Amino acid sequence: MIRAAVLAALLALPAAAEGIPEPGDYRGEPYRAPVPDTLKGAQVIDGSQALDLHEAGQAIFVDVFPRTLRPEGLPEGTIWREPPHQTIPGAIWLWNTGYQALSPEEQVRLRDGLTAAQGDSDRPLVIFCREECWMSWNAARRAVEWGFSPVYWFPGGTDDWLAEGGASLVTAVP
């Protein structure tokens, strides 16, 4: 009886995730949570499609995972090293640009980063983070609202990339 209940609960999880509606505005905490299947104005892609685009060199991959900053209140003289950030090979890392509210500096980093990456090309921007990460949804939504096109949202991010057999992640440089 317990097994049947557990199995039913596990089978219901994907169905529950499919019903996540797009919010009317940017999404805040918690950022790691089930995401919608859609993003108005963007094309949603899966890991297989991301691999194909990457292999063909047909897209610009943009990672919006946040940067780990030095913790406040560390005693003077404490040695602290920022942990390395792993991303898809060739991706640009526009850290801290997927939050619900962006500082002016973060907005500039995102807009200027996307502009520089896309230039005058019509290559799609593939915006990603991690699996079930609202930060990529927020950043892709901003890109659409700012008139970037085409915008592809890759909700599976690096987790789906690896699961699909994508090349090993590389260390990003801020």
- Give this prediction's pTM: 0.86
- Angle 69-80-28 from CA coordinates, rounded to 5°: 20
In angstroms, the CA 6 to CA 133 distance is 26
141 contacts 39 by C-beta, under 8 angstroms: yes
Enumerate residue ranges in the chain where pLDDT < 50.
1-17
Classified as helix, coil or strand, 117 is helix
Q: What is the pLDDT at residue 18?
A: 56
Provide the CB-side half-sphere exposure for 34 (13 A, CA).
11
